[in-house]
Amino acid sequence: MIKSAVTVSLVAEARQGPFVFHEGLEDAFQRASALGFDAIEIFPPSPSALIVDDVLALCDQYKLKVAAVGTGAGFLREKLTLTSGDEDVRQRAMTFIEDLMTFAAGLNAPAIIGSMQGRFDQDVSRNQALAYLSTALSELGEQADALDQMLLYEPLNRYETNLFNRLEETAAYLETFDNPRLKILCDLFHASIEEEDIAASIRKAAPHIGHIHFADSNRRAIGFGHTPIHPIIDVLKQVGYHGYLSAEVLPLPDTQTAAEQTIKAFQLAVSR
């Protein structure tokens, strides 16, 4: 069963970011529940910003699950990355992610590493950045195993990272860890920039894909851009994907319309 999810950002600095809800957790739970979503994906400002029991109470009240928890605020607010040339920054990035993984596990959800992967540059060579990243993902992957959760690694488009942009190279990289907890988050917006044929790339990387950001070519709700979604859903059904399609999209033309369009597109595509 493919499941639906929708994002809420609780980060002031991400006001312009690709998240559907921006008006607090309760507002997001209420609206997502009213529209019939299965789950919420949370983008919190820090690992200590929310109390697990409070979020579980909302899950119970609104009959929603937590699909995933993003770690990107560590980059957005504190410029933390796992591949920084500064050891102190790398260490703080690790602590930020470890603490968010623990928080997410309390909600029975995986954490996402997206922008926290960083990039290589004139100070840190590609090989050095990959060595830092590999050390980090080995350790974080062990923690994911101890927490009985996936850890989602997200290839990003070329304007956001120069480490991993495509599904195939990310799958090959994750295989080197020999840890089934490390999974790919396939964001269909990034894929629409980087892949030749999204459906074909998903088919090849399928055993590694643990989560999907359900976004159109222009980062709007599916159906508001030009990504052909039906071939993608057909492949997901054929390979037996049973994770989330989580709307990490811009709240355009407004939050409610983006949320309504998402659930409509989800239901249409998945029930075909």
Where along the sequence are the contacts to ligand LER (CB under 6 A)? 70, 72, 114-115, 154, 156, 160, 187, 213, 248
Write the Ramachandran bin of 27: left for phi over 0, alpha for psi from -120 to 50, otherwise beta. alpha
CB 77 within 8 A of CB 117: no
- 187 part of the interface to Mn ion, by CB under 5 A: yes
Query: Measured from the CB atom, is 70 or 251 closer to ligand LER?
Result: 70
3-class secondary structure, 193? helix
CA 179 and chain centroid, separation: 19
Number of H-type helices and E-type strands within the chain: 10, 8
Query: Measured from the CB atom, is 249 or 263 closer to ligand LER?
Result: 249
Tokens describing residue 226: 């030009």
Residue nearest to Mn ion (CB): 187
Task: Give the closest residue to 150 by CA, choosing from 113, 115, 116, 109.
Answer: 109
Minimum CB separation of residue 53 from ligand LER in Å reads 26
Residue nearest to ligand LER (CB): 114
Q: How many residues does the chain have?
A: 272
Query: Measured from the CB atom, is 70 or 141 closer to ligand LER?
Result: 70
Indicate which single residue of 41, 194, 216, 248 sits in contact with Mn ion (rule: CB under 5 A): 248
Query: Measured from the CB atom, is 187 or 216 closer to Mn ion?
Result: 187
Instruction: Write down the residue that tokens 């050390």 correspond to.
Output: 135
Minimum CB separation of residue 219 from ligand LER in Å reads 9
Indicate which single residue of 166, 208, 211, 213 sits in contact with Mn ion (rule: CB under 5 A): 213
Residues that bind Mn ion (CB under 5 A): 187, 213, 248
